[in-house]
Amino acid sequence: MAKERLPAAVREAVCRELYRQVVELDWESLKDSQRTAQYSRWVDDAAIGGELADYLTAEGMRVWLKDGPMKEYMRALEGVGQYAQYATKRFVDIGETIREALGPRWRTVPGTLAEKPMHVDITDGDAERYVCWGQPHTFRDLLWAAVGKAIDARVPPLILVVLRGGKTLTSGEEVFQDKVAQHCGLDLIRVTRHLVDRV
């Protein structure tokens, strides 16, 4: 596999530069055609493709970039997964976002942070509840995960729809999400999460 053939120093240098550029590009806002074009630019970039050229073909680079660091990018921003160490930025801790949304009594339960979708259990000292979060285009996955937890939950699961960079949903999209969540007995809150320098 490419991962095995790449020296650790090369992988680290490429991933750090890649993630630095991705933040500047606002990757999540790009259309599919723009992302495809960007992969080609990365292959031609001396700091990315130039570093990989001794180990991968141009097509191999695209595959590795897409199926490796870029597939893991959102998880890396959460501080999760093998590529998290290369992220130059990360999201503000989800516990902080939850306290802003629900109030200062709520805390994350240690050891419950997990993925697919990103989720965690929270408590106010009396009750525990399941919280999952993601961007608007992942709403279906968030809904399915929360519905699965609602079956046995004493407190309705909470979906956090994450908006970034001042982006908003249309009123129609908001109404649809709210109606579906209400129909399923779920709570839904829209939040903004910011990227901060990784320390």
Specify the residue for token string 């933040």: 23
The model's pTM: 0.83
| Environment class of 195 (CB within 10 Å of its CB; exposed 0-12, middle 13-18, buried 19+) | middle
pLDDT value of position 165? 67
- Is the alpha carbon torsion for 73, 79, 81, 87 positive or negative? positive
pLDDT value of position 118? 96
Q: Which one of 1.20.1630, 3.20.14, 1.20.120, 3.40.1350 gives the CATH number of domain 94-197?
A: 3.40.1350
At 37, phi and psi to the nearest 5? -65, -35
Domain-wise residue ranges, the chain? 2-90, 94-197
pLDDT value of position 11? 95
**Per-residue tens of pLDDT for the chain, all 199 residues:** 454 589 999 999 999 999 999 989 988 888 899 999 999 999 999 999 999 999 999 999 999 999 999 999 999 999 999 999 999 889 999 999 999 999 999 999 999 999 999 999 999 999 999 999 998 989 999 999 999 999 999 999 999 999 876 678 999 999 999 999 999 999 999 999 888 888 7
pLDDT value of position 1? 41
